[in-house]
């Protein structure tokens, strides 16, 4: 359910901002945050975005392979490791949200832009938030599991 919720909210917000904003338009929300509309043909931080198009299918395949692996792990750990399951579900939802964009549009729609003075963090979307929060929770889960004493 978490993965599905992330996919639905991610796709709904991307669809909204893709229609509400013109490309590269910026709407200031806070002194450090704008809404904008940009298309990313690469991966995180626009990695490989300037390539001639093969990266669309490479990152689509990578996202699908990750989704299959995560789904298998989720089935194997169902109910036994709730923190791990939540982390993986968040990553799964984010990965599939961006895969949908790549297949449907040939790029990922980004619309969240944070900055400080002349420093700008690359624009991102809610799928990216799901992936990032899931990855942080995954690390936290592992750290907490390492601290837990093992039964003799």
Active-site annotation, residues? 110, 128
Task: Provide the residue count of the chain.
Answer: 152
Interacting residues of 141 by C-beta distance below 8 A, sequence separation 6+: 81, 83, 84, 87
Task: Give every CB contact of residue 148 below 8 A, 6+ residues apart in sequence.
Answer: none
**What's the rounded Cα separation, in Å, for the pair 147 and 152?**
15
């Amino acid at each position: 359910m978490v993965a599905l919720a992330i996919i639905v909210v991610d796709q709904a917000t991307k669809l909204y901002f893709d229609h509400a904003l013109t490309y590269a338009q910026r709407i200031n929300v806070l002194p450090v945050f704008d809404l904008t509309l940009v298309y990313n043909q690469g991966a995180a931080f626009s990695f490989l975005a300037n390539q001639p198009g093969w990266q669309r299918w490479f990152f689509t395949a990578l996202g699908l392979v990750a989704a299959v692996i995560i789904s298998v792990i989720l089935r194997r750990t169902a109910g036994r490791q709730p923190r791990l399951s939540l982390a993986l579900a968040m990553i799964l939802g984010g990965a599939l949200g961006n895969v949908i964009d790549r297949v449907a549009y040939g790029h990922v729609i980004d619309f969240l832009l944070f900055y400080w003075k002349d420093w700008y963090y690359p624009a991102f979307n809610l799928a990216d938030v799901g992936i990032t929060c899931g990855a942080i929770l995954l690390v936290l889960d592992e750290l907490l599991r390492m601290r837990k004493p093992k039964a003799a």
